């Protein structure tokens, strides 16, 4: 067997720009607000879109945030605006 033969389809690499585009379409005009609430909304949307586990979707949200596709303008740990600020989804325009 070749390398990666034991990898599940859930571990297959995905195009993060494409996923950001799917999230942008899903949340068009009404991005989630609040750091934790927003990450949860993105996770749930990706899990439904891909038919994957919440764990896989959570990892993808972390990757999207780490690569700058998802941006939260406030302080992730809280603060006076922590529940009011809206996330920004930076998806390339096609």
For 11-44, what is each residue's pLDDT tens digit? 667 999 999 999 999 999 999 999 999 999 999 9
Q: How many domains does the chain have?
A: 1
Task: Determine, yes or no, domain membership for 70.
Answer: yes
Task: Determine, yes or no, domain membership for 47.
Answer: yes
> Nearest CA to 50 among 38, 36, 61, 62?
61
> Nearest CA to 68 among 14, 11, 20, 15?
20
- Domain assignment of residue 53, given as a range: 15-89
Please, what is the average pLDDT of the chain?
Answer: 86
- Residue 72's domain is classified under what CATH number? 1.10.10
Angle at 63 between CA 62 and CA 69, to 5 degrees: 100
Task: Determine, yes or no, domain membership for 4.
Answer: no
Task: Determine, yes or no, domain membership for 2.
Answer: no
Task: Determine, yes or no, domain membership for 49.
Answer: yes
C-alpha distances (whole Å) from 87 to each of 14, 50, 51, 94 are: 22, 21, 23, 21
Asked if 22 and 57 count as a contact pair (C-beta separation under 8 A), the reply is no
Task: Determine, yes or no, domain membership for 85.
Answer: yes
The owner of tokens 């930076």 is 90
């Amino acid at each position: 067997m070749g390398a990666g033969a034991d990898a599940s389809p859930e571990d297959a690499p995905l195009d993060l720009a494409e996923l950001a585009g799917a999230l942008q379409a899903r949340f068009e005009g009404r991005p989630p607000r609040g750091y934790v609430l927003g990450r949860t909304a993105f996770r749930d949307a990706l899990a439904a879109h891909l038919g994957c586990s919440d764990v896989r979707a959570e990892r993808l949200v972390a990757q999207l945030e780490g690569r700058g596709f998802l941006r939260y303008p406030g302080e992730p740990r809280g603060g006076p605006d922590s529940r009011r600020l809206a996330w920004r989804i930076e998806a390339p325009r096609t």
